[in-house]
Structure 1
Amino acid sequence: MADKQKTTVLDFIPKYFTLWVIVFAFLAILTPNTFKPLGGYISYFLGVVMLGMGMTLSAEDFAAVFKQPLNVLIGVILQFVIMPVLGFCIARLLNLSPELAAGVVLVGCVPSGTASNVMTFIAKGDVALSVTISSITTLIAPFITPYLYLLLGGRFIPVEPLALLVDIAKIVLLPIIVGLLIRQILGGERVRVINQVMPSVSVVAIVLIIAAVVAGSAAKLTNVAGTVFLAVILHNGLGYLLAYSVARYLCRMTEAQARAVSFEVGMQNSGLGAALAIKFLTPVAALPSAIFSVWHNLSGSFLANYWARHTQRP
C-alpha cells in the first residue's frame, strides 16, 4: 500500500507540470521578492534536470542512428536551422526590442526539449527517432548553440561564443556525463528507484527556474507580455508546421516519423535558454524562454492528442 501511495505521489507532480508552471509564474508576479533570490541558482537547477537525463540515457536511445541515420540527420539539421532562423525573422517582423529579440533568437538556438519525447509517444509518433534526435541535439548543443546565436542574435546583444560554449558544457554536458557514470556504477534496481524520483525533481527544478525568471522581470512583464506571447506562439507553431511539412512531404518520412521530427523541432529546451539569458544577456531576454516553457507544453499536448485521435488503425 505504501509503495502504491509513493508511486502515486511521484506521478502526480510530473502529470500536472504545466499547472505548476502557471501557478508559480503567477505567484512570482504577485510576490517577486520571494523568488528573486532563486535567480543565482538557475544553472544548478538546470544541471539537476540534465543529471536526470543522463541517468536515463542508454545505448538503446541511440538505436535510431543505426536504423534510420538519414532521418536522424535530417531531424538534427532541421532543429538547428528552422528554430534559429524563425526566431530571427519573428524578432524582425515584430520589431522587438534588442533584449526581447536576443531572447527569442536564443530560445531558437538551444536544443530540443525533453518533453518532446512524451508528446511523440502520446501522438503515436516514432519515439525511438524522437529520443535519438533530442539526445544528439542536447549533446552537440555546446558546440553549435553559441555560434548560431552569434550569427543571428549577436547583432541584438553580442556575447563571447567561447564563454557561452564553456557554460553550456558545464550546465548540460557535465551533468549528463555524471548521470551516465552514476547509472553505470549503481546499475540495476538502485538506478530504477532513482529514476522514479527524477521526473518529479526535474519538474520542481524547471518550475523554480521559470519562477525566478518571471520574478526577475516582473516589473517589465506587463509592458511586454502581449508581444512576447505572440512571438512565442508564432515561433512554436511555425516550428511544428515547417518541420512536419519538410519531413513528411519533402523528405518523404512516414507519418509517425514526421510527427516525431515536428515535436523535436517545435519544442525547445527553454530551461537552458532561460539560464543562458540570465547569465549572458538580461532578465528581460529570459522572458521568451520562460513563456515558451509554458506555451510549448500546452500546444504540444493539444497537438499530440489531436494526432492521437486522428491516427489510422491498421
Structure 2
Amino acid sequence: MATKKNRSLLEIIPKYFTLWVIVFAALALLSPNSFQFLGKYISYLLGVVMLGMGMTLTMGDFAGVLQQPLNVVVGVALQFIIMPLLGFAIATILRLPPELAAGVVLVGCVPSGTASNVMTFIAQGDVALSVTISSITTLIAPFITPYLYLLLGGKFIPVEPLALLIDIAKIVLLPIIIGLVIRQVLGNERARVVNQVMPSVSVIAIVIIIAAVVAGSAAKLVNVAGAVILAVILHNGLGFLMAYFVARYLCRMTEAQARAVSFEVGMQNSGLGAALAMKFLTPVAALPSAIFSVWHNLSGSFLANFWARRAPEPAARLARR
C-alpha cells in the first residue's frame, strides 16, 4: 500500500508542476522574507536538476545525430539563433529597462528545456529528434551562451563571458557527467528506480528556484510585471511559430519533426536562466526566466494538446531525412 502511495505522490508532483510554481511564487510575493534565503542555493538546486537529466541520458539519445544529422543541426542552430535574436528584438521594441532587457536576452540564450521532450511526446512529434536536440544544446551551452549574451545583452548589463562559461560548466556539464557516471555504476535496472524519483525532485528544485527569484525581486515585481509577462508571451509564442515554419516549410521536415523543433526552440531552460541572472546580473533580471518557466509550460501544454488532436500521418512520423 505504501508503494502505491509513493507512486501516486511521484506522479502528482510533476503532473501539477505549473500549479506548484504559481502557488509558491504567490507565497514568495506575499512573504518574500520567508524565501529570500533560498537565493544562495539556486546554483546547487539547478545542479540537482541537471544531475537528474544526466541519469536519464544514454548513448541512444545521441543516435539521432547519425539517423537524421541535418535535422539535428538545423534544430540546434535554430535554438541558438531564433530565441537570442527574438529576445534582443523584443527587449528593444518594448524599450524594457536594462535589467529586464538583459534578463529577456539571457533566457533567449540558454539551451532548450527538458519539458520540451514531454510536450513533443504529447503532440505526437518526433521524440527521438527532440531528445537529441535538447541533449546537444544543453551540452554545448557553456561554450555558446556566454558569448551570445555578450553580443546581444552586453549593452544592457555587461558580464565577463569566461566567468559565465565556467559557471555554466559547473552548473550544467559537471552534474550531467556525474549523472552519466552514476547511471553506469548503478546499471540500468537500479538507475531506472532512481529515475522514477528524479522528476519529482527536479520539479521541487525548480519551484524553489522560482520562489527564490520572486522573493528576491518582490519589491519591484508589481511595477514591472506587465512588461515582463508581455515580453515572455511574445518571446515564447514567436519562438514556437518561427521554428515550426522554418523547419516545416524552409527545411522540408515532416510534420512530426517540425513539431519537435518547435518545442525545442520555444521552450527554454529557464531554471538555468534564473540561476545565471541571480549570480551575474540582478534579481530583477531573473524575473523573465521565472515567468518564462510558468508560461512556457502553459502554452506548451496547450499547443501539444492542439497538435495531438491533429495527428500527423504515420508515414510522416516514421520518415527520416
Q: TM-score, normalised by structure 2?
A: 0.97
Match for residue 287 of structure 1? 287
How far the C-alpha of 1:311 sits from its partner, in A, is: 1.4
Match for residue 224 of structure 2? 224
Match for residue 317 of structure 2? none
Match for residue 215 of structure 1? 215
1:269-308 to 2 correspondences below 5 Å: 269-308=269-308
Match for residue 263 of structure 2? 263
Taking the aligned partners of 1:293 and 1:135, their CA distance within structure 2 comes to: 19
Match for residue 253 of structure 1? 253
The answer (yes or no) to whether the contact 2:256–2:312 under 8 Å persists in 1 is no
Taking the aligned partners of 1:245 and 1:136, their CA distance within structure 2 comes to: 22
Taking the aligned partners of 1:302 and 1:229, their CA distance within structure 2 comes to: 18
Taking the aligned partners of 1:95 and 1:266, their CA distance within structure 2 comes to: 22
Taking the aligned partners of 2:92 and 2:184, their CA distance within structure 1 comes to: 47
Taking the aligned partners of 2:5 and 2:69, their CA distance within structure 1 comes to: 42
1:110-259 to 2 correspondences below 5 Å: 110-259=110-259
Taking the aligned partners of 2:55 and 2:285, their CA distance within structure 1 comes to: 31
Taking the aligned partners of 2:231 and 2:79, their CA distance within structure 1 comes to: 18
Taking the aligned partners of 1:67 and 1:3, their CA distance within structure 2 comes to: 40
How far the C-alpha of 1:210 sits from its partner, in A, is: 0.1
Match for residue 319 of structure 2? none
Taking the aligned partners of 1:5 and 1:214, their CA distance within structure 2 comes to: 32
1:49-60 to 2 correspondences below 5 Å: 49-60=49-60
Letter in 1 for 2:148: L
Q: Output one character per residue of 1:243-289: Cα deviation in whole Å (capped at 9) or x when no partner.
A: 00000000000000000000000000000000000000000000000
Letter in 1 for 2:306: Y
Q: Output one character per residue of 1:220-248: Cα deviation in whole Å (capped at 9) or x when no partner.
A: 00000000000000000000000000000
Taking the aligned partners of 2:4 and 2:228, their CA distance within structure 1 comes to: 42
Taking the aligned partners of 1:265 and 1:221, their CA distance within structure 2 comes to: 27
Taking the aligned partners of 2:313 and 2:89, their CA distance within structure 1 comes to: 39
Match for residue 68 of structure 2? 68
How far the C-alpha of 1:313 sits from its partner, in A, is: 5.4
Taking the aligned partners of 1:50 and 1:153, their CA distance within structure 2 comes to: 25
Match for residue 46 of structure 2? 46
Taking the aligned partners of 2:75 and 2:146, their CA distance within structure 1 comes to: 20
Taking the aligned partners of 1:219 and 1:27, their CA distance within structure 2 comes to: 14
The 1:157–1:312 alpha-carbon spacing in structure 2 relative to 1, beyond 3 Å, is closer
Q: TM-score, normalised by structure 1?
A: 0.99
Taking the aligned partners of 1:143 and 1:51, their CA distance within structure 2 comes to: 19
Taking the aligned partners of 1:103 and 1:12, their CA distance within structure 2 comes to: 31
The 1:312–1:110 alpha-carbon spacing in structure 2 relative to 1, beyond 3 Å, is closer
1:3-22 to 2 correspondences below 5 Å: 3-22=3-22
For the residue of structure 1 that corresponds to 2:35, the secondary structure is helix
Structure 1 residue runs without a partner (length 5+): none
Q: Kindly tell me the number of residue pairs found equivalent between the two proteins.
A: 314
* Superposed CA RMSD: 0.7
1:93-104 to 2 correspondences below 5 Å: 93-104=93-104
More deviation, 304-313/198-207: 304-313
Taking the aligned partners of 2:235 and 2:48, their CA distance within structure 1 comes to: 27
